[in-house]
Amino acid sequence: MDWSDSLNSSTVPSITSVSFPLRRAIPIRHDFKLFRLVLRYLYINEICFTTSSDEEADSDIPTTCNGEGIYNIASNLKIKLLEQKVLSFLGATCDLNNIVARTFSKFAATNPAVGKLYDAYFVRHWRELRKNKALIEKVFASANDPEEANRMNTKFRDMMCDLA
């Protein structure tokens, strides 16, 4: 007697009756390097923010200078603790040289918590900022299209009205 004779054909599933889960790729709309840092943060609960890309390679802890990119991912994945860490970093790194660009950026417009943080810094330091007209003009000249220029000008007018 052959070993296959001992098997009842009704107990052995046929290849057509077995269903396998479909594998599918889930597209990531974010920079994969940053997404990987967020995944590592979830795994080891550590992430380091820096203002210099030179420091990124020197650390054993996942490190990035792209706080806004990490904020986007944390916000989309609803990782509140990481969002707060990034907000703290972004607030600590605001200065007179970068706040105009940050305040009127698309990123600030699409992320209200960040926009509010940048706006508060901008308003607090308006007296010093208005002395550097070249910086303000440079930021406004960087608008890529008329709609973007209009958004920036409207925001600026609203902020100036609030200061008055």
Could you give the 3-state DSSP secondary structure of residue 58? coil
Which stretches does DSSP call E strand in 41-121? 48-49, 63-64
Bridge-based pairing of strands 48-49 and 63-64 is parallel
Once rounded to an integer, what is the mean pLDDT over residues 21-35?
A: 76
pTM to 2 decimal places: 0.78
Mean pLDDT of the chain: 86
Summarised one tens digit per residue, pLDDT across range 134-154 is 888 888 898 888 999 999 999
User: Domains of the chain: which residue ranges?
Assistant: 28-93, 94-164
The pLDDT of residue 75 is 95
Question: How buried is residue 89: exposed, middle or buried, by Cβ count under 10 Å (0-12/13-18/19+)?
Answer: buried
Summarised one tens digit per residue, pLDDT across range 97-126 is 999 999 999 999 999 999 999 999 999 999
pLDDT at position 43 over 70: yes
pLDDT at position 11 over 60: no
Once rounded to an integer, what is the mean pLDDT over residues 37-56?
A: 90
